[in-house]
Structure 1
Amino acid sequence: MVESIRFTGLASGLDTQSIVDSLMKVQRQPLDRLKQQQQVIEWQRDDYREMNKLLKSFDTYLFDNIYKQSKMLKKTVTTSNSELVSAVANAEAGNVSYKIENVKLATAARIQSTGSISTGGKLDPTKSLWSQKDKLSGLTWKKEDVSNSFTVPEGGGTDFQLTRGAISDINAQTGTSEQFITVTKADGSTENYKIVAKAATESDKPTGKEVYIDDNTGKMVFGESLAEGDTFSVEFKANYLDFNIETYNEDGSTNTRESSFKFSGTTSLNSVFNEINKSNVGINIFYDSGTDKVVTQRKATGELVKDGKSINFVGESASFFTGALKLDSSNEDNSSHGTDASFTINGLQTTRKSNTFTMNDVTFTLKKDSAGSTESSTISVKNDTDEIVKTIKEFVDKYNEMIGKINGELKEERYRTFTPLTDEQKAAMKEKEVEQWEEKARSGMLRRDTLLSSGLSKMRMDLYAEVVSNADTRTDKKYNQLSEIGIKTSKDYLDGGKLEIDEDKLREAIEDNPEAIYQLFMADGTASLNPNDKNTTPVLGIARRLRSSIAETMGKIEEKAGNTYKTEHNYSMGKDILRIKDNITRLEDRLKMVEQRYWNQYTAMEKAMQQLNSQSSQLLAQLGMGQK
């Protein structure tokens, strides 16, 4: 709403606007204090949320790093001959050496065409199979009865599309050896259109009472335009392939598609093979145009055979493989059942179905044949002390960074004389001055905050408390406190409880018992703290205790300061903000009334003075004092 324009001081000569503004400035001081209170609470709320982000970041770091055996129990593997075999060890692998020799790699079952598959010109794998049916001999098609009915649309037309391609055996009305399509006109009369071609070229365009049907695509073209409302129907056979493929697993189970592969004759050879390769039957199949042959091979290696077959083609259209593609598994020159890998490891001759296998938590990958030679490879597994030290040092750095920022908030100076600026104060200051003022005003919002200080105290207790050693917690009495692995609190009290590392002592402990170091952080068991008491108490490692304390502290902060997903009604500081906002609204309404009252008073004064001036002028005029 636009305020009304006021012309003031016309009778009195007073600057009424300035007078009212000055009076209202005093009246607005309580309103300014309320807005400043709201701003302080909002700043403090935002600082609490930043602390929660900091705590959450450290919590995530613990979960993604300290919790993972792959970080805290990392193994390193060295291989004397990586061209023969490579290896990777997981965190639970023992510190063992392996010697591998006499390697014979596993192979995959495969079948290739016994000869060229094309007849009368080479097959194009990108074109439909039906359009090239004469180039694939020995193929049995399945047929499906289809009936299409048409009503000529508005405006008439010559071109129509059957719902299927790869068609044959058109069941059209015949009176002679010729075939016709009968079109029923709107008046009930009929006209016959002779089918003139099924494989058109540019010269095959129909004329007059003729109709052309492309048996590959199902496109129909009449020699003349049919009238709107004319009807006709076509019955035909749609040709397709229907088959399945069986492969076998080590346990004798069968891999096969839940439903048979079904392909319309309009599908290309490449599309058929792509669908097979994506399926769960576990083979790769492709066509080589250079040799005009097809090769199919198991994705899995090893001798995986059932009833003498590695790959079995079944179904009514299995002739697609055995006949047209000439994939004859009985021909030894063009097929292989696949072979197992064989090798000697630490003197033991053994076999595997795959060239990659896991033994004692170490994954080996055989790379080349060495059978009959003296070539071998020695694989050594040991603790990756450097990486474990790096992870723990990173943990200490992250912890120190976190408590450094929290202590900074707790110790930050609070400048109480620097209150939040009002809009009028900001307007009267330069931008840089406003920035410097608000930096002071925002300082110390969490100074000596009890939520944060108690959270820090609890985390310090989590770090320093002993982790009880027993069979359940799997810790070592030698390493059940941080100080015993070389991690202690800084002696400088100004550091606020930051940690320091004796790297040599830490490295020595890791090399001695890495599992115990991991459990120092990750133990999750129970213990009886009193030998005479049968009751047990939960025992958690340092990282688990820290995450529990962080979750507790974050929960308390959220109860007070909320988060970005909570409305102001759902946390205590938000309720304070709502209360202040309500007080501001009510005070602003009252101030409007006060300002209006001032204006009413000054307006009344102006009217009175105007009347006085008018009466004076009249009196002077009557006395003749107004005449020269």
Structure 2
Amino acid sequence: MRTTSIKFTGMASGLDTESIVKSMIAPYQMKVDSKWQQQTLMEMQKNAWRDMNKQIFDFHDKYISKMRLESTFNKKNISLSNPSIITIDKNATLPVGTHTIDRIDQLAEGARITSKAISDIDTTKKLSEQDGYKDLVGKKITINGKEIEITEEHTISSLAKEMQQVDPNINVNFDTNTKAFFISSKKTGESHSIALGGDKDVWNKLGILDASTTALKIDTTKDTTLTIKGKAISISAGETHENIITQLEAALNDGVIDDKDKSKVIYRDGKFIVGAKQKDISIIGDGIQKENISIGKNAILSYNGVEINSEANNISVNGANFIINTITKDPITLVATQDTDAIVDFMKEFVTEYNKLIEDIHNKLDAASSKSYKPLTSEQKKEMSEYEIEAWDKKIKDGIFRKDPDLKYVVDSMREVLSGVVEGGTFSSLSEIGISTGDWKEKGKLHFDEDKFRKALAKDTDGVIQLIAGSGDPKSVFEKDLANGVISSTKSWEELKKSELENDKALVAKYENRTKSIGDRLYDSINNVSRSTTLRSAYSFYNDKALDKKITVAKDDVKKLEERMYRMEDMYYKRFMAMEKMMQKLNSQSSWLTSQMG
């Protein structure tokens, strides 16, 4: 920015030098102002397009992107025979009809460790300061393989906190009111477990009871002998997991007749997990590590005759999302009906908001010309009131989009799609289901005939959804044209689909495009007119790159023109100052001569 120094001019000549210089540089100032007005007008265009971009994409995100999705129109009304047993998601897309949850045998549960109160513990003191607990110092325990050593500084609460920290997938809490541990997995299902290992005396003193399940880590690289229920079994080095499981189950279930009382063994994460059914089982052996383990449970239920085994009580099947709350042997009936009101409401709202958008766009395209209005310079604003300045600026902004080809192309593209034909379905156009354009003077505004739309839904709901959000069958359209002689081809539709020839690919694309839904075409049209090019960025409806470049060039031109103008101004002032000095000298000489003659 140029700083203006104070100039004392015209003292000898009596001339209004500043006015004279200002007049002399006026042509240069006019060039600066003209280029600045061009730059400012382009910046106003950029700001206007930024707002228009947002307006169009807000409509796109709220309606067009949803209009192409069948899930938008597949909302259902669902009634339950027993709402207390399950909780259904209101957005479920369950197929229309009657569905049955035959039974719920088991809820999903997390792993839980049984514990009892340790009434003699003092929660305010360190364990090392309490009789019965001081001998725990130096002993080690493990939780899911992570080791903790009891120190002299541990209180029961700090020990619980450290137990929590070793595994983020479990909850460990010592309740000071009940003086008991509560240990559980954060998630439900059989894949989640809690294994307690290390010194068994520590767990007993902490009130943690033996779990009914035991995890064995067996070194299979060498011969191992185990004693189970008082009987010895030998495991050879290199024995397969399957053979070890067979031997363990045979020993565990020796003498057990009823299958429901038999213990099971599974192999998981390097451990043989023994689900013991009998309380008197003992497993002893060198070279093994034992952990008490609790394993979560899966939800078990039957839906429409299909057995479901799920890690969570939140079930997703056949478009239904529901939560099971309790087990039951009685069947639960779900009756799903199409929510036609939701379809009507969405399309009615789409038509309303679409009309608002194109009305605003056409008002901008048809605005009065503002070519004679240029952005006001600071000098021009000095001569105008604030109201006049606002009115002037508004006139310029109102005319920015007048006959704009890019904006007109956007609205024409949408209008063409909405009046187009989709082949291969029950309905081929929006007008057939009650959405049509009116008089040409309305410039593409849509009219929504709710009664006609509801009748179309009653006749064929799937057909309406197919027109708006689905797609027709390109194969049937192709075969129809082939039979009627509209096209000639020696290949079937399946052969064309598999072909790598460009002509065949083009033919397939042509028929697939003819059967695309209105929603898909509208989505594609917006993407096509806002696609990135060398002149525009992605998601822009105008040539923003080109405009930004023009603005940058204009700014540089303004700067260059200003510098030239300031150089000329300085040059003129220097000449006038030289003239003033000369006249001052002449005046002095004249005064001297006058005084001599006097």
Q: TM-score, normalised by structure 2?
A: 0.68
1:480 pairs with one of 424, 428, 438: 428
In the other structure, the counterpart of 2:408 is 453
2:55 matches 1:54: yes
2:320 matches 1:320: no
CA 587–405 in structure 1, closer or farther in 2 if over 3 Å, else same: same
In the other structure, the counterpart of 2:549 is 575
Which blocks of at least 5 consecutive residues in structure 2 are unaligned? 213-277, 280-292, 483-487, 490-495, 497-506
Deviation at 1:536, TM superposition (A): 0.9
In the other structure, the counterpart of 1:241 is 140
2:360 matches 1:405: yes
Deviation at 1:503, TM superposition (A): 1.8
1:188-246 alpha-carbon deviations (Å, 9 max, x no partner): xxxxxxxxxxxxxxxxxxxxxxxxxxxxxxxxxxxxxxxxxxxxxxxxxxx253324xx
Matched residue of 1:571: which SS? helix
For residues 556 and 303 of structure 2, the distance between their equivalents in structure 1, rounded to whole angstroms, comes to: 80
Matched residue of 1:86: which SS? strand
CA 281–427 in structure 1, closer or farther in 2 if over 3 Å, else same: closer
For residues 608 and 285 of structure 1, the distance between their equivalents in structure 2, rounded to whole angstroms, comes to: 99
For residues 359 and 44 of structure 1, the distance between their equivalents in structure 2, rounded to whole angstroms, comes to: 52
In the other structure, the counterpart of 2:84 is 83
Matched residue of 2:426: which SS? helix
What residue identity is the alignment partner of 1:394? E
Percent of aligned pairs with the same amino acid: 30
Of Structure 1 and Structure 2, which has the larger fraction of its residues in helix? 2
CA 10–87 in structure 1, closer or farther in 2 if over 3 Å, else same: closer
For residues 447 and 400 of structure 1, the distance between their equivalents in structure 2, rounded to whole angstroms, comes to: 19
In the other structure, the counterpart of 1:536 is 508
User: Is contact 2:101–2:303 with CA below 8 Å preserved after alignment?
Assistant: yes
What are the within-5 Å matches in structure 2 for residues 174-213 of structure 1?
none
For residues 508 and 182 of structure 2, the distance between their equivalents in structure 1, rounded to whole angstroms, comes to: 66
What are the within-5 Å matches in structure 2 for residues 466-615 of structure 1?
466-469=421-424, 477-491=425-439, 493-494=441-442, 496-523=443-470, 530-531=481-482, 532-533=488-489, 534=496, 535-537=507-509, 538-539=512-513, 540-555=516-531, 559=535, 571-615=545-589
User: Is contact 1:45–1:561 with CA below 8 Å preserved after alignment?
Assistant: no
RMSD: 4.3
CA 598–460 in structure 1, closer or farther in 2 if over 3 Å, else same: same
Deviation at 1:436, TM superposition (A): 1.6
For residues 4 and 590 of structure 1, the distance between their equivalents in structure 2, rounded to whole angstroms, comes to: 18
Deviation at 1:311, TM superposition (A): 7.0
CA 87–30 in structure 1, closer or farther in 2 if over 3 Å, else same: closer
What residue identity is the alignment partner of 1:317? D
User: Is contact 1:426–1:434 with CA below 8 Å preserved after alignment?
Assistant: yes
In the other structure, the counterpart of 2:417 is 462
CA 31–395 in structure 1, closer or farther in 2 if over 3 Å, else same: same
1:493-552 alpha-carbon deviations (Å, 9 max, x no partner): 23x312221222323334554444344344468566552345312423222322222223
Deviation at 1:357, TM superposition (A): 3.7
User: Is contact 2:103–2:301 with CA below 8 Å preserved after alignment?
Assistant: yes
2:148 pairs with one of 247, 256, 262: 262
What residue identity is the alignment partner of 1:549? S
Deviation at 1:447, TM superposition (A): 0.7
Deviates more, 1:540-549 or 1:92-101: 92-101
Deviation at 1:444, TM superposition (A): 0.9
User: Is contact 1:105–1:355 with CA below 8 Å preserved after alignment?
Assistant: no
Deviates more, 1:57-66 or 1:42-51: 57-66
What are the within-5 Å matches in structure 2 for residues 208-219 of structure 1?
none
Deviation at 1:36, TM superposition (A): 1.2
1:585-626 alpha-carbon deviations (Å, 9 max, x no partner): 3322332233234334433443454454445444444543xx
CA 547–622 in structure 1, closer or farther in 2 if over 3 Å, else same: same
Deviation at 1:313, TM superposition (A): 4.2
User: Is contact 1:105–1:366 with CA below 8 Å preserved after alignment?
Assistant: no
Deviation at 1:387, TM superposition (A): 1.8
CA 42–558 in structure 1, closer or farther in 2 if over 3 Å, else same: farther
For residues 378 and 432 of structure 1, the distance between their equivalents in structure 2, rounded to whole angstroms, comes to: 70
For residues 416 and 396 of structure 1, the distance between their equivalents in structure 2, rounded to whole angstroms, comes to: 34
Which blocks of at least 5 consecutive residues in structure 1 are unaligned? 142-165, 167-238, 245-256, 470-476
User: Is contact 1:69–1:91 with CA below 8 Å preserved after alignment?
Assistant: no
Matched residue of 1:559: which SS? coil
In the other structure, the counterpart of 1:40 is 41
In the other structure, the counterpart of 2:31 is 30
Matched residue of 2:141: which SS? strand
1:423 pairs with one of 378, 381, 396: 378
For residues 578 and 53 of structure 2, the distance between their equivalents in structure 1, rounded to whole angstroms, comes to: 59
For residues 542 and 606 of structure 1, the distance between their equivalents in structure 2, rounded to whole angstroms, comes to: 81
Matched residue of 2:421: which SS? coil
Deviation at 1:358, TM superposition (A): 4.3
1:99-130 alpha-carbon deviations (Å, 9 max, x no partner): 668777648575534x6434xx3342x76545
In the other structure, the counterpart of 2:318 is 360
In the other structure, the counterpart of 1:10 is 11
For residues 240 and 405 of structure 1, the distance between their equivalents in structure 2, rounded to whole angstroms, comes to: 78
User: Is contact 2:185–2:194 with CA below 8 Å preserved after alignment?
Assistant: no
Deviation at 1:328, TM superposition (A): 2.9
What residue identity is the alignment partner of 2:118? I
What residue identity is the alignment partner of 2:412? S
